[in-house]
Structures are given as structure tokens and as C-alpha cells.
Amino acid sequence: MLARSWDIRMSERRAKAVVGRGRHLEEDIVLAKPRTFMNNSGEGVRYLLDRFGVKPSELIIVYDDIHLAVGRLRIRPQGSDGGHNGIRSIIAAVQTVAFPRIRVGIGRPSASGDGQVAHVLGRFSDDEVPLIADGVQRVVQALDCLLEENIDAAMNCYNREV
């Protein structure tokens, strides 16, 4: 959705990521979709930092989080991995926790469900589909806000309950 909204073609297929480059809001933008397993996300991020000569603070990582309600956003300028293996891998690869991130809630697995892995990899329920669709749309808006203003403005606007 982000690539479509910003008219950036995701056309470069590399070993560690699918990459699209373009401009948005007067900024040079590189969008990347990892091709590694989530637990090895740091490999792809390290590759991108080296390839494009950017610092970790110039990244914005968008990822799912079971600790947030479906569709809820949480934007932070830095922080721990919070138990997320992909973020743990990125922190290890870039040797810092100082990179901005946007967490998108996918909710917790139900007590009677198949467990965390099945929940994360599974489909959203009919009731959750509109919530996650709204959350993804709000990620695009939050990134626009972050680029137009700054991370504090994005946090003030998008960390609120919806």
C-alpha cells in the first residue's frame, strides 16, 4: 500500500530484500520488503544500510506486534526489542536501539487458538479485517506526517486510541 500510495515501484529483487526507490515529499525514499526469515531481519537491514550508505537513525522499521490491539499503532524513536525476534535481529545487526519504528497491532492469539506462530502467520477474522486495513492506511498517513513534520508530531497524532 505504501509503495502504491507513494508511486514507488518495488522492482529491485536482491538477495536480502525487494527494493523500490523514488521521491516522496521532497525526500529520497528507499522502500524495502525483507526476503529473509523474520528472525533474520537484521541481515536485510544491515545490507540496506551498507548499500545505501545510511545510518540506523535514518531507518523507519514497520512491523507487527501481538502486544497491541488489531490495527493500533505505536510509534517510537528508539527502544528495546520488546520480545520481537525480528527487532532483536535488527538491533544486533546495527548495534543500536536508536532507530525509529512503527508497530502495528495484530492482537494476541486466543487462549483456545493454535498458538503464537499460527496467529502471526494466520488470517485475520472477518471482524479484524477492517481494523487491520484501517491500521495499515494509518501507517501510510503516519509516515507522511513523520516525513512532513517529525517523529514527535507522528507520535502525538497516531499513538492515540482510535
d(CA 62, CA 80): 15
Q: How confident is the model at residue 115 (pLDDT cuts 50, 70, 90)?
A: confident
The set of cell numbers assigned to 40 is 533474520
Select from 67, 74, 59, 69 the least CA-distant residue to 154: 74
d(CA 149, CA 79): 21
d(CA 95, CA 59): 14
d(CA 128, CA 142): 21
Q: How confident is the model at residue 157 (pLDDT cuts 50, 70, 90)?
A: very high
* pLDDT tens digits, one per residue of 127-136: 999 999 999 9
Q: Is the pLDDT of residue 151 over 90?
A: yes
Q: Which domains does the chain have, with CATH numbers?
A: 2-158 (3.40.50.1470)
Q: Is the pLDDT of residue 118 over 70?
A: no
pLDDT value for 5 = 94
